[in-house]
Amino acid sequence: MDKKTTDEKVPRIRKSSLKVKENEKNVKPNRENKTRERIAKEKKDAKKTEEKRNTEEKEKGKISKAVRGTNLKITPNNQKKSTSSILPKKMSNLGWVNRSCVNDQAVKNRVQDLLSSRLIHADQQVEWLARSIQCIDLTTLAGDDCPSNVARLCSKAAHPLSDDLTNALQIKHGLLTTGAVCVYPARVADACLGLERLRANIPVASVATGFPTGQTSLKIRLEEIEFAVANGAKEIDIVINRELALSQNWGELYNELVEMRKACGESHMKSILAVGELCNLTNIYKASLVAMMAGSDFIKTSTGKETVNATLPIGLVMCRAIRAYNRKTGFKVGFKPAGGIRTSKDVLQWMTLMKEELGDDYLTPDLFRIGASALLNDIERNLGNHATGGYLMAEEMPMA
């Protein structure tokens, strides 16, 4: 290659390099413009996000301020006010319900452990049995119920022990009563009148919603609740729709229970799960959660009319549901076993379960009730044996 050829190529190279530099100058402003636009867009999006967050925080602040202002204690009397007022229109925790599963063998092992290692000493059983009387919902749900039967039931609820036995146990007269009197809606007015005559401050509970099957339309079930409340019932024992539970239609079951909660108004709502018809422990656990989410003040095992009623494994599962719900929401929901609890031994086992799983608060009538009719007579016979050294005969005890 000669010198002339080399000299000719040099300026060409320089010209091309100049073109590249010129192109770079043109591209650079375009890139800067795009960068500015992107930054401006990001700032705009960030501003919108911040405004949305501030709005949400303000709303949360209003709600928390309102809740703080109420200063409610967690007791069944005000749970209905706090839970029913914040119930969502749609069930939001359906995922929690669907994910729930119960280990049947673990439940069985836990119950066996409680029965074998948690015993109440004989010298303490009198106090435990006397306390259990305060937790009994003394019940009559017979086809031949009439005003005289209900009046006699009210008298037994106000004076569950004979005067001689009360004096022997050194219990102040009139201090010991049952937790409630439970009747059909048609007998609520009779029960209120009977307790008023006795000047006994005992709430009247009423079954409702097509008890025990619940096989009526929702409209009729709601009207029955309203009828019982209008006649003076302070506690309503409703039955859930078992078809919805068995078909896993938890959302619809929740909606029905919310309507029932509204119909109860200021009265407590106890949701009867009819556990003997729910097939397995997992369904019982899920139904317990749904009932509590819908605003129930108590969850109850059964109507007493099923072939399987209150058993300790079922009670354990429901207690665990109550404990889980309390940890998640802060609300304490009461528990009521019913059906098949007939002896003093039975009631002591249930009270042991309450103390071990839920604590001492669940040994009071505010959070623990027992649905029974014949149980009180057996408790009275055992207390009489402690006081006198012999069992009382049936005719020696006040009639129920």
Active-site residues, by number, are: 237, 300, 336
CB 126 within 8 A of CB 381: no
Helix (H) or strand (E) holding 385: helix 375-388
In this structure, what are the phi and psi dihedrals at residue 188, rounded to the nearest 5 degrees? -65, -45
Q: Strand ranges (DSSP E) for the chain? A: 136-139, 180-183, 204-207, 235-239, 268-272, 298-300, 334-336, 370-372
Determine if the peptide bond prior to 212 is cis (ω within 30°): yes
CB 207 within 8 A of CB 184: yes
Ramachandran assignment for 248, one of left (phi > 0), alpha (psi -120 to 50 degrees), beta (any other): left
Task: Let me know how long the chain is.
Answer: 400
CB 326 within 8 A of CB 286: no
Q: Strand ranges (DSSP E) for 259-387? A: 268-272, 298-300, 334-336, 370-372
Question: Alpha-carbon distance 345 to 52, whole Å?
Answer: 60
SS3 label, residue 139: strand
